[in-house]
Amino acid sequence: MSIEPFNRLVKLAARAFYDDITTKGDNQPKSGRSDNRGIAVVILDALTRRQWVREEDLAKDLKLHTKQLRRTLRFFEEEKLITRDHRKEGAKGAKVYNSAVAATVDGLQNGKEGDDKIKMHTHSYCCLDYAQIYDVVRYRLHRMKKKLRDELDNKNTVQEYICPNCGKRYTALDALRLISPVDEYFHCESCNGELVAESDKLASQGTTDGDDNDRRRRREKLEDMLHRVEAQLKPLMDQLARVKDLPAPEFGSLQAWEVRANAVARGANGDNANDSKSGQGLGFGGTPMPFVGETKVEVAFSGLEEKGDIKSDVSVTPMKVLPPWMIKEGMNLTKEQRGEVKQESNMEGTSAAAGLSDDKKSIGFEDVKNIQVKVIAFCMVHYLFLPFSYSALSIFCPVLSCLSSPYADEYIKAYYEALFKRQKEQEEATKMLPETSTTDGVYNTSTGRQVGMKSKREEEDEGEDVEWEEAPPAGNTTTGNLKVDLNVQADASEDDNNEEDDIDWEEG
């Protein structure tokens, strides 16, 4: 909703019609000092830069006396250019208004210094009524032109006569009573003065007693005036035409406007807050967990190396049909990257922690690896027997729940959730890719390994509780590693599990 064309319309109309409006009464002597012509234009211009404005504030801004402003505003109200609202309010209402103003009008100074001493006073507010202004100006132009045209061809106008002596007015409908028997003129009923035709007041004053060239002269004058009106008001008419199809800016009533403006302001503030928050939280993907923030540095370190892999992985995952627990990892990753859900992020934390603990182990304790390998092998066996069966899950889940990690519960929750999601995705994927059955074996192994890692983690946990808990949570790196791991394995199709795993852990 563009307000600019309408403001231009208001400005043009102000200059065209309200340029010489003076708020002083006619009876007051017009000295040079009190001549306030043009003030109407100033006020209208000021109003185009505002929406609803308290009249005191407007007066302050314009350095006008409140009374003077109010008189002009009342005039505008009568002219249907502005809408006004008066209400009794204390400091609170003023505050609402001020906040609304602050929200809508930027760069505008508000007289806030006076707000302290406000105690239930009646305040007046005013606002331009653009839709009505459009109509008013159009109607005004129409009337002007119609009057001139009617005057010009004297069409359907009832001639009026006026008595120059007593000022009494007659219309042509009274003509029968006005004819005098003595001469050919009309005579006033009360003073018997000779009546003067009144309609040529527009064009020629005082020449009515002239003869018929008088009529011609009047006609020329009218034509001239009509032309001048057309020429001088052309910008205004053009603007009217331009504005014609635009929706007029609507501020609504004062209350509605305040509510709306404040709501908008609040919305904007909220957005800002969010922005700042996310700006701070970008490092840890918007997770609210305080301790994950520490891992930031590590993320940066190893994330760089594996970015490509991660990406490729992400792009690949939706294509493949993967067993739920494996794909859980993929989901995890993508969600981390998007920084979405708390549960996921928690999960990330756990897996990350697990990963890091693994890292530590791979670095620190060589013998742990052996255990891992054993566990993996064990799991492989399991998975050969129970491929793709969710009963496997039920086997592992109690084990997981036995974890001494404080995240265990959440981990399981997230695990189930991810599983559920993946199942759905899987169904869709199976529809899309019918050939997946051929690659089942590969995935089987990979899942086996995947789960093996997890089970290995369990093992570690069971064996080395202290390690697990103490491990500082690592960022995405380890999960990324896992992912990469999976991919590589999927490609490499059944290598030696032990070696593969070893390499992976050392990489991490």
Partner 1 sequence: MFFHIVLERNMQLHPRHFGRDLREKLVSKLMKDVEGTCSGRHGFIVAITGIESVGKGLIRDGTGFVTFPVKYQCVVFRPFKGEILEAVVTMVNKMGFFAEAGPVQIFVSNHLIPDDMEFQSGDVPNYTTSDGSVKIQKESEVRLKIIGTRVDATEIFCIGTIKDDFLGVISDPGTNA
Q: Figure out which of the listed residues 20, 109, 158, 182 binds partner 1, where binding follows CB under 8 A.
A: 158
Q: Which is nearer to partner 1, 91 or 197 (CB)?
A: 197
Q: Figure out which of the listed residues 19, 135, 185, 305 binds partner 1, where binding follows CB under 8 A.
A: 185
Under rule CB under 8 A, residue 212 binds partner 1: yes
Q: How far apart are CA 393 and CA 260, in angstroms?
A: 54
Under rule CB under 8 A, residue 170 binds partner 1: no
Question: What is the helix (H) or strand (E) element at residue 128, kind and residue range?
Answer: strand 121-128
Cα–Cα distances in Å, from 370 out to 209, 367, 384, 389?
127, 5, 21, 27
Q: How far is the CB of 239 from partner 1 (least distance, A)?
A: 35
Q: Which is nearer to partner 1, 65 or 177 (CB)?
A: 177
Q: Which long-range contacts (CB under 8 A, 24 or more apart) does 391-395 make?
A: 392/451, 393/324, 393/325, 393/419
Q: Which stretch binds partner 1 (CB under 8 A): 130-138, 176-184, 350-358, 410-418?
A: 176-184
Under rule CB under 8 A, residue 6 binds partner 1: no
20-57: b (≥16 Cβ within 10 Å) or e = ebbbeeeeeeeeeeeebeebbbebbeebbebbbbbbbb
Under rule CB under 8 A, residue 216 binds partner 1: yes
Determine contact, residues 476/303, Cβ cutoff 8 Å: yes
Q: Figure out which of the listed residues 15, 24, 60, 215 binds partner 1, where binding follows CB under 8 A.
A: 215
Q: Figure out which of the listed residues 175, 273, 381, 492 binds partner 1, where binding follows CB under 8 A.
A: 175
Q: Which of residues 191-210 bind partner 1 (CB under 8 A)?
A: 197, 199
User: Do β-strands 121-128 and 82-89 pair in parallel, antiparallel, or remain unpaired?
Assistant: antiparallel
Q: How far is the CB of 194 from partner 1 (least distance, A)?
A: 10
Under rule CB under 8 A, residue 182 binds partner 1: no
Q: Figure out which of the listed residues 108, 131, 166, 179 binds partner 1, where binding follows CB under 8 A.
A: 179
Q: How far is the CB of 221 from partner 1 (least distance, A)?
A: 14
In the chain, % helix, strand, coil (3-state, to 5) comes to 70, 5, 25
Q: How far is the CB of 156 from partner 1 (least distance, A)?
A: 5
Q: Figure out which of the listed residues 8, 219, 260, 413 binds partner 1, where binding follows CB under 8 A.
A: 219
Q: Which is nearer to partner 1, 170 or 407 (CB)?
A: 170
Cα–Cα distances in Å, from 293 out to 357, 410, 463, 475?
18, 19, 28, 9
Under rule CB under 8 A, residue 96 binds partner 1: no
Q: Which is nearer to partner 1, 71 or 147 (CB)?
A: 147
Determine contact, residues 337/306, Cβ cutoff 8 Å: no
Q: How far is the CB of 155 from partner 1 (least distance, A)?
A: 7
Q: How far is the CB of 231 from partner 1 (least distance, A)?
A: 24
Instruction: Please name which of 45, 100, 502, 487 lies closest in space to residue 308, comparing C-alpha atoms.
Output: 487
Q: Is 405 helix (H, G, I), strand (E, B) or coil?
A: coil
Q: Which stretch binds partner 1 (CB under 8 A): 19-27, 119-127, 153-161, 339-347?
A: 153-161
Phi, psi torsion values for 22, nearest 5 degrees:
-115, 140
Under rule CB under 8 A, residue 66 binds partner 1: no
Q: Figure out which of the listed residues 76, 170, 186, 257 binds partner 1, where binding follows CB under 8 A.
A: 186
Contacts of 351 (CB under 8 A, 6+ apart): 329, 332, 411, 478, 479, 482
Q: Which is nearer to partner 1, 85 or 189 (CB)?
A: 189
Q: Is 294 helix (H, G, I), strand (E, B) or coil?
A: helix
Under rule CB under 8 A, residue 155 binds partner 1: yes
Q: Figure out which of the listed residues 156, 205, 315, 438 binds partner 1, where binding follows CB under 8 A.
A: 156
Determine contact, residues 481/355, Cβ cutoff 8 Å: yes
Q: How far is the CB of 172 from partner 1 (least distance, A)?
A: 4
Under rule CB under 8 A, residue 226 binds partner 1: no
Which tokens in the block code for residue 147?
């009057």
Residues at the interface with partner 1 (CB under 8 A)? 153-159, 171-176, 179, 184-186, 197, 199, 212, 215-216, 219
